[in-house]
Amino acid sequence: MKVYPQSSLLKSLPKQFFASLVGKVNKYIQDGHDVINLGQGNPDQPTPEHIVKRLQSAAANPINHKYSPFQGFQSLKEAAAQFYLREYGVEIDPNKEVAILFGGKAGLVEIPQCLLEPGDSLLVPDPGYPDYWSGVALAKAEMITMPLKEENQFLPDYSELSQEDLDKAKLMFLNYPNNPTGAVATEAFFEETVELAKKHDICVVHDFAYGAIGFDGQKPISFLQTKGAKEIGIEIYTLSKTYNMAGWRVGFAVGNESVIAAINLLQDHLYVSLFGAVQEAAVEALTAPQDCVEQLNDLYESRRNVLIEGLQSIGWNVTAPKGSFFAWLKVPEGNTSEQFADYLLEKAHIAVAPGIGFGTWGEGYVRVGLLTTEERMHEAVARIKSLNIF
C-alpha cells in the first residue's frame, strides 16, 4: 500500500496528550483490573428523557431528512436567545448574535481561523483546555500563555503580561467555571477583562461549557452579563454538560455580531448545519423546565463533597472546586504530575489526568472528574488510603 505524506498543517497540530493516557488505562482494563476512571471528562448520566423523546419524534419527520438551513433553524437561535434572557438577563438578537455550532469544541477551534492571520498572537490560559491549541495551530498563530495560579484563585493576573504582549494579542480565550481547575470567575474579574480588551483591541472568547455547574449556592456568571462584554467578545455554550448531551454535538456562540458573522461564514464552507432532529431536541432542552439541570448540579455537588471530604480525611490537603465537574488536586511532593498519575494507575488502579497535559502551569496537579458514582468515589479514597502516601 502506498503511504501518502501528511501535510505540513497536520504535522503542526499538537500531539493529543490524553490519547496516551487512554491507552494506559485501556491496557489495565484489558488485563482484567478494575480501574476507577477519574481521568475522563465524559458525562456519565443519560440525556434527560424529554429531550430524547423530542429527538425521536423529530427524527421521524421527513422534513428533517433533508438538508437543514446552512446556519441552523431559526427556532434554535430563538431558543438560545430565550435561554440567555431567562438564565442571565442578557438580551441576544437571534438573527445577528447567535451561531449554531457542532458542539462547543468546533467553535473554539474555528475562532482563531476566523479572526487571525498567520503569525498573529492570542492569549490562552495555562493550564487550559488543550483544544485551544488546536485552533491556534490551524490558524498558524502564536500563543501567549496566561498562568493560572492558586494564589490568584486560578484567574489570570493581567499585570503579569508585558505591554508588548498586550499590544500584539488580538484574541483571548477564557473559561469559567474552569477546566481543569474548577475555579469560577468574579464580576470584578470580568469587568477588568472588558476594560483590558477595549484598551488593547482584543476579542474575548469565553468558553462557558460548565456554566450550569456551580456549588455552595453560587450560580456561575456569564461573561456577557458584564457591561460592554458583547461589544468586545462572544461566549460559547455547549449542551454537552448542562444536559448530558456530549455525544449529540450541539452548542452555540452568542455575542458580538461581527464575530458571529465570521463563524457563520466559515461554517458555510465546512458544513450544511446540524441534523434537524438534533436541533429540535436542543430547542426542547433550552426551553423546557430546567429541573433536570438543578438535579444534575446537586448530583455533582454531592459527589464533590464525598471525594474532597474523603481525601481530606486520609491526609491529602486538597481544595474543593467551586464549579465544573472537575477537582484540581496537588500531587505529593517529590512527584511530577505524570509520575503520580502513573503510580495511582499502577498501584491503586485509579486513573487521573496529569496536570502537565493542560500546560506548563498544570505541573504539580492532577485533574479528577466527578463522573462516577459516590460508591466508586468511596472506593477510590479507600484505595488511595491503602497506599499510605499521606
Q: Which pLDDT does position 93 carry in this prediction?
A: 98
Q: Which pLDDT does position 60 carry in this prediction?
A: 97
Q: Which strand ranges, in their side-by-side order, compose the sheet holding 251-255? A: 98-101, 251-255, 233-238, 203-207, 169-175, 121-126, 142-147
Q: How many residues does the chain have?
A: 390
End-to-end CA distance of the chain: 54
Strand partners for 142: 121
Angle of CA points 357, 367, 27, to nearest 5°? 70
Dihedral sign, CA of 11, 15, 16, 21? Answer: positive
Ramachandran class of 337: left when φ > 0, alpha when ψ lies in -120 to 50, beta otherwise: alpha
Q: Which residue has the cell 448545519?
A: 273
Amino acid at 366: V
Domains of the chain: 8-46+292-386 (3.90.1150.10), 49-287 (3.40.640.10)
**Its pTM surpasses 0.85:** yes
Q: How many helices (H) and strands (E) does the chain have?
A: 15, 12
Contact 144, 359 (CB under 8 A): no
pLDDT, one tens digit for every residue, the chain (390 residues): 999 999 998 999 988 777 778 888 899 899 888 999 999 889 999 999 999 999 999 999 999 999 999 999 999 999 999 999 999 999 999 999 999 999 999 999 999 999 999 999 999 999 999 999 999 999 999 999 999 999 999 999 999 999 999 999 999 999 999 999 999 999 999 999 999 999 999 999 999 999 999 999 999 999 999 999 999 999 999 999 999 999 999 999 999 999 999 999 999 999 988 999 999 999 999 999 999 999 999 999 999 999 999 999 999 999 999 999 999 999 999 999 999 999 999 999 999 999 999 999 999 999 999 999 999 999 999 999 999 898
DSSP letters for 37-76 = E-S-----SPPPHHHHHHHHHHHTSGGGGSPPPTT--HHH
Whether cis (ω within 30° of 0) applies to the bond prior to 125 is no
